[in-house]
């Protein structure tokens, strides 16, 4: 009996040992140990297309050493060239001996040339890459991505971090940009709408800027500190895509109208007029929807409902005027006209570009399957918009 008990206890111990060993082997991730001297932790990647193939600019985080007097993040930009994105990555490895690691890459920046033809020639590699997070932000930039990523930010340690702040969740709520992740863009591209959007970024020189907070440490591939003017990055609208190709650029007003229709604006502002005086209205609450219905011809109901208050006027108000933040009926009428105009302009842009920004083909496919083939090709050109804008004051 004692022998049996001993064997049983041994059996349980062996069982626990094996289970622990299995868990250890499966989930240890080699303890996440990364030889930083041999690994390039890519924070952002810029892709440009030229006559001789692709150029991938990897924005790589590097250790700052033991000097604790300097905070912040250091980075270096390494360029790889090749006929495919994979070849560019291999080129970086061959040139530097660093193993590029995409698992922390939060931004893919496409240069203008890269989106003149199917941008999925570029993005496909990242979507298929198991290590690449498909939740990373993607954007198009004016000029080349290499130039933008290599420029020195006036407000942050590195250009990539400054751009990522620009594309933050909070920024999206202002309605001035529409963020897109790799997953969302891919779903749009492979879906029946074959359309998508990305923020369109530009930069402007910040004259007389001091060095960035924490001591900007971005360097080019040769190791030298970057020279030249420091930049401030800005969103200049939204790039529209059809079948992976950039087909139009929405203005900031049209981008704002799109955000309102998505119901995503929570703290945005827009300009209206009252008695010739400019007034900034603050959006407290926003509901928006776009729905397709089929009659003789397809009709798209574009509906926006807003709650606003006056944020600022181009003129001083009396200190005793406690109702100055409540918009008047005349101001609300003008605001309604402004938003309606922006939505009309947005609709016209979509019709011209054949970018199914509102996923109307998807709605047609999902809810009107029988008539999908009939309307699929010409839906965007024949659909009539029915715009409804309701703006109420916050009292």
Partner 1 sequence: MKTVSARQLCFFLAFIAPVGKLILMPSQIVFDAKQDLLFSAALSYLLQSVIVFLVLLAAKKDKTLFALLRERLGTVGARVALSLLALFLFLAALLPMLEQKLLVQSVFYDTLPSILAFAPFFLFSAYLCFHPIAHLGRMWDILMPFSAVGFAGLIALSAGAADFGALLPVGASGMGAIARGTLHSLSWFFDSALLLPLLGRIEQTKRLPLKGTLCYLAGGGAVLLVLAVFYGVFSDIALRQLFAFSRISKYFPGVAVLGRIDYFFIFALTLVMAFYCAMPLHAGVECLKQAFGDTPVRAGGYTLAVNGVMFTLSVLLNYHFLRTQTFMTHTAAWIFPLFPALLVFVLLIGRKHEKA
| Residue nearer to partner 1 on the CB measure, 103 or 337 | 103
Taking the complex as a whole, how short is the minimal distance between the CB of residue 263 and partner 1, in angstroms? 15
| Residue nearer to partner 1 on the CB measure, 36 or 326 | 36
Cα(265)–Cα(286) distance, rounded to whole angstroms? 6
User: In angstroms, what CA-CA distances link 196 with 76, 171, 217, 249, 359?
Assistant: 31, 20, 35, 12, 9
Give the closest residue to 132 by CA, choosing from 98, 85, 182, 91. Answer: 182
| Residue nearer to partner 1 on the CB measure, 8 or 392 | 8
Q: Where are the extended beta strands (E) located within 295-374?
A: 298-313
| Residue nearer to partner 1 on the CB measure, 298 or 327 | 298
Taking the complex as a whole, how short is the minimal distance between the CB of residue 87 and partner 1, in angstroms? 20
Place of tokens 């500190």: 225
Taking the complex as a whole, how short is the minimal distance between the CB of residue 15 and partner 1, in angstroms? 7
Interface residues with partner 1 (CB under 8 A) are 14-15, 18-19, 21-27, 29-30, 32, 34, 99, 101, 103, 127-128, 130-131, 133, 135, 183, 186-187, 190-192, 365-367, 369
Q: Determine contact, residues 259/249, Cβ cutoff 8 Å.
A: no
Taking the complex as a whole, how short is the minimal distance between the CB of residue 190 and partner 1, in angstroms? 4
Taking the complex as a whole, how short is the minimal distance between the CB of residue 82 and partner 1, in angstroms? 22
Radius of gyration of the chain (CA): 26
Q: Determine contact, residues 323/277, Cβ cutoff 8 Å.
A: no
Taking the complex as a whole, how short is the minimal distance between the CB of residue 394 and partner 1, in angstroms? 26
Give the closest residue to 309 by CA, choosing from 286, 330, 285, 326. Answer: 326
- Distance between start and end Cα atoms, the chain: 84
Residue 243 CA neighbour count, 13 Å, CB half:
3
Cα(319)–Cα(32) distance, rounded to whole angstroms? 61
Phi, psi of 100 (to 5 degrees): -65, 130
Give the closest residue to 88 by CA, choosing from 51, 124, 145, 48. Answer: 48
Taking the complex as a whole, how short is the minimal distance between the CB of residue 360 and partner 1, in angstroms? 14
Query: Could you count the other beta carbons within 10 Å of the beta carbon of residue 86?
Result: 15
Q: Determine contact, residues 196/189, Cβ cutoff 8 Å.
A: yes
Cα(235)–Cα(140) distance, rounded to whole angstroms? 10
Taking the complex as a whole, how short is the minimal distance between the CB of residue 189 and partner 1, in angstroms? 8
Place of tokens 């620009």: 166
| Residue nearer to partner 1 on the CB measure, 109 or 182 | 182
Cα(254)–Cα(226) distance, rounded to whole angstroms? 36
Taking the complex as a whole, how short is the minimal distance between the CB of residue 237 and partner 1, in angstroms? 26
| Residue nearer to partner 1 on the CB measure, 192 or 305 | 192
Taking the complex as a whole, how short is the minimal distance between the CB of residue 196 and partner 1, in angstroms? 12
**Bridge pairing between strands 230-242 and 245-250:** antiparallel
Cα(311)–Cα(326) distance, rounded to whole angstroms? 9
Query: Could you count the other beta carbons within 10 Å of the beta carbon of residue 252?
Result: 17
């Amino acid at each position: 009996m004692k022998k049996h008990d001993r064997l049983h206890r041994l059996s349980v111990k062996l069982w626990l040992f094996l289970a622990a060993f299995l868990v250890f082997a499966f989930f240890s991730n080699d303890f996440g140990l990364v030889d930083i001297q041999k690994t390039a932790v890519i924070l952002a990647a810029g892709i440009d297309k030229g006559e001789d193939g692709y150029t991938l600019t990897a924005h790589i985080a590097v250790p700052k050493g033991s000097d604790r007097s300097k905070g912040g993040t250091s980075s270096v930009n390494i360029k790889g060239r090749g006929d495919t994105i994979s070849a560019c990555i291999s080129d970086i490895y061959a040139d530097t001996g660093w193993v590029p690691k995409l698992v922390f890459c939060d931004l893919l920046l496409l240069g203008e040339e890269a989106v003149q033809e199917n941008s999925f020639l570029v993005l496909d590699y990242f979507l298929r890459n198991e290590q690449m997070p498909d939740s990373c932000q993607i954007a198009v930039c004016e000029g080349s991505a290499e130039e933008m990523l290599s420029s020195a930010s006036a407000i942050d340690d590195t250009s990539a971090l400054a751009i990522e702040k620009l594309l933050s969740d909070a920024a999206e709520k202002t309605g001035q940009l529409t963020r897109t992740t790799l997953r969302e863009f891919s779903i749009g591209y492979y879906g029946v709408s074959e359309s998508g959007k990305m923020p369109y970024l530009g930069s402007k020189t910040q004259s007389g800027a001091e060095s960035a907070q924490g001591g900007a440490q971005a360097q080019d591939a040769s190791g030298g500190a970057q020279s030249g003017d420091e930049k401030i990055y800005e969103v200049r609208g939204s790039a529209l895509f059809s079948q992976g190709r950039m087909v139009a650029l929405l203005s900031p007003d049209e981008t704002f109208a799109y955000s309102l229709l998505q119901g995503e604006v929570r703290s945005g502002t827009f300009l209206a007029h009252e008695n010739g005086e400019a007034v900034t209205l603050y959006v407290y609450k926003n509901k928006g929807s776009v729905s397709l219905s089929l009659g003789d011809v397809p009709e798209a109901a574009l509906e926006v409902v807003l709650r606003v208050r006056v944020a600022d006027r181009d003129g001083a108000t009396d200190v005793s005027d406690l109702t100055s933040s409540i918009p008047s009926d005349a101001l609300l009428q003008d605001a309604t006209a402004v938003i309606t105009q922006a939505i009309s302009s947005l609709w016209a842009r979509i019709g011209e570009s054949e970018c199914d920004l509102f996923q109307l083909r998807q709605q047609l496919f999902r809810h009107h399957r029988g008539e999908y083939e009939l309307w699929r090709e010409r839906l965007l050109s024949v659909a009539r918009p029915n715009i409804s804008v309701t703006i109420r004051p916050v009292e």
